Homo-oligomer: A and B are copies of this chain.
């Protein structure tokens, strides 16, 4: 079964390996008449760009997105939107030593077991680079939700290892490389911070704030909004947990004895 598509009415199908010719996706189901330009998508792609801070892989990619279809005279037509990003920095030699080995925590072994062999260039299809297309398609979806329904989708880094923000504000989130909501704590100079950062950029839970979602969204039973969000988030490399609302905290919170803890 195809595992490369997501969504039913608004469907994203992606393709591409970290070191192939290009990565891309088809956004099918975007309503017609919405103004859309490459700049709208590029802004979010730039936010995720590797090398944005010294704490991520040093790979440099312009990640310049091109709209191949679905937009005419600056507006979506209702036809599928083809998006592509050329892979200009392929440097396969950097990865050649792993051709004969498996990296712990990566999908190398799984892909080899499932498909008989694998594209060993930087993880191939299982590379985190795949998330670029989620960001691109997400930028289209976010724009529509905001313009049509006033629904705001945004996220921030809620924990960096044991470190949690002392104060919270959306304002600084876009101002620092960690999407950290407490301006006073950034940049962090303490070794702990830096050490955590090196990991946290891979392992910290993500938190999407959704504002004013109208009642009745989502579908009953298997496709309620909580389930779809959990499905989408848990399908991102290295995501190990998803909470909605109070999450696991709600278990303790509601127990009478917690008052005395």
Option from B8, B17, B159, B192 in Cβ contact (under 8 Å) with A1: B8
Q: How far is the CB of A249 from chain B (nearest CB, A)?
A: 9
Question: A2: which B residues are within 8 A, CB to CB?
Answer: 8-9, 11, 28-29, 80, 219, 223
Residue A20, interface by CB 8 Å: yes
Q: Which of A54-62, A141-149, A167-175, A250-258 contacts B (4 or more CB under 8 A)?
A: A250-258
Copies of this subunit: 4
Residue A188, interface by CB 8 Å: no
Option from B107, B161, B250 in Cβ contact (under 8 Å) with A254: B161
A205 touches B248 (CB 8 A): yes
Question: A205: which B residues are within 8 A, CB to CB?
Answer: 248, 251
B69 touches A216 (CB 8 A): no
Residue A4, interface by CB 8 Å: yes
A230 touches B234 (CB 8 A): yes
A159 touches B68 (CB 8 A): no
Residue A82, interface by CB 8 Å: yes
